[in-house]
Amino acid sequence: MRATHFVAIAVAIALVIVLYMSGNTIPPPKATVSEMQRPGSGGAVSGGPAKVAAASFDSILVGASRSVSKNIKDSVLAIEHKLDAAQDPVIKSGLYIQLSRIWEHAGRLPVAAYYSSKSARLENSEKKLNFAGQFFLQLMENESSSPVQAWEAAEAVSCLEQSLKLNPDNEDTKLALATGYIEGTEEPMRGVQILLAIVREKPDDIPANMLLGRMAIQSGQYDKAIGRYETVLKLEPENKEALYFLAQASEGKGDKKRAIELLEKCKKLVSDPAFSKEIDDRINSLK
């Protein structure tokens, strides 16, 4: 798995636990502390991806179909025939889930996620829409194809927006939607506005402050980033991500001494040899 951005990690852990449901067995990929975005690695969080045409689902499906067995193709075709004949939304939703499971077991997760979202949209279920949106976000984080990544982002945003219409007060959904806009679309400021609305109502909200702090670092607004992470650390003094990114913001401000102190503290809290070595290298570069 390639390095991922913290903006998705902040949302994923709590959200997936709540949203994971029977009837869809696709597990979102897991991220570890050692996979946090490193200083200078850039990434879409700085203002969304470069403009790129999104792939179509048809093209993704054709590509996935080329590399699966005849048995899988036959199973898919049989369910598609049933879908063509189905009129009852409940039956159609169940058939979409069957397709999702087949493609999941074949290892073609974008296709599996798509059919899961088709079921969620048809049922207009907040829980299922949130799950589908979050799963698309996780796929987006690890996608190597820019057109497919743009498609996954659009699918995530669409599912989460539909979910918010059902429950406009769901903060987890707002955070996930902000992530989708910031990391995967050409409209990152829509995500920022969602986060700002959250902290206006709840100034101590940790996930929103973490996300806004990361955006502030990427845009060179180090004072704002420092304020965000200091807010988090007042509530969670041993928050590893906040220490790490506060060190990055302090370095951006030219306060190398504080950056080193924060990195040292972060290192003590992370039991990951590779990440510890990376911190040591960073510290040495600041001395």
Burial of 254 (0-12, 13-18, 19+ CB in 10 A): exposed
Q: Which two three-digit tokens encode residue 109?
A: 């997760």
Q: Which of 1.25.40.10, 1.20.1420.20, 1.10.510.10, 3.40.140.10 would CATH assign to domain 209-287?
A: 1.25.40.10
Task: Tell me the whole-structure pTM to 2 decimals.
Answer: 0.77
Q: What ranges in 42-108 are assigned the alpha helix state H? A: 57-66, 70-85, 89-105
Position 48 scores a pLDDT of 52
Contacts of 253 (CB under 8 A, 6+ apart): 222, 223, 226
Tokens of 33: 């502390």
Q: Which two tokens stand for residue 115?
A: 């059919």
Query: How far out from the chain centre does Cα 165 lie?
Result: 20
pLDDT of residue 287: 86
| pLDDT tens, N- to C-terminus, the chain (287 residues) | 333 344 344 334 333 333 333 344 444 433 333 334 433 333 334 445 557 789 999 999 999 999 999 999 999 999 999 999 999 999 999 999 999 999 999 999 999 999 999 999 999 999 999 999 999 999 999 999 999 999 999 999 999 999 999 999 999 999 999 999 998 998 999 999 999 999 999 999 999 999 999 999 989 999 999 999 999 999 999 999 999 999 999 999 999 999 999 999 999 998 888 888 999 999 999 98
Angle between helix 188-201 and helix 171-184 axes, rounded to 10 deg: 150
Buried b (16+ CB within 10 A) or exposed e, 71-99: ebeebbeebeeeeeebeeeeebbbbbbbb
Q: Which two tokens stand for residue 157?
A: 């945003």
Nearest to 138, CA basis, from 23, 19, 50, 31 = 31
DSSP state of 95: H
What spatial distance separates the first Cα and last Cα of the chain, rounded to whole Å? 31
Choose among 277, 206, 274: nearest CA to 245: 206
Q: CA-to-CA distance for 106 and 99, rounded, in angstroms?
A: 11
How far from 166 is each of 23, 124, 133, CA to CA, in Å?
Answer: 21, 8, 14
Task: Name residue 3's amino acid.
Answer: A
Distance (Å) of CA 243 to CA 179, 198, 252: 21, 22, 14
Distance CA 172, CA 18 (A): 10
Q: 1-33+51-201 maps to which CATH number?
A: 1.25.40
Would you say the CATH fold of 209-287 matches that of 1-33+51-201?
A: yes
- In this structure, what token pair is assigned to residue 183? 């990391």
> What are the extents of the domains in the chain?
1-33+51-201, 209-287
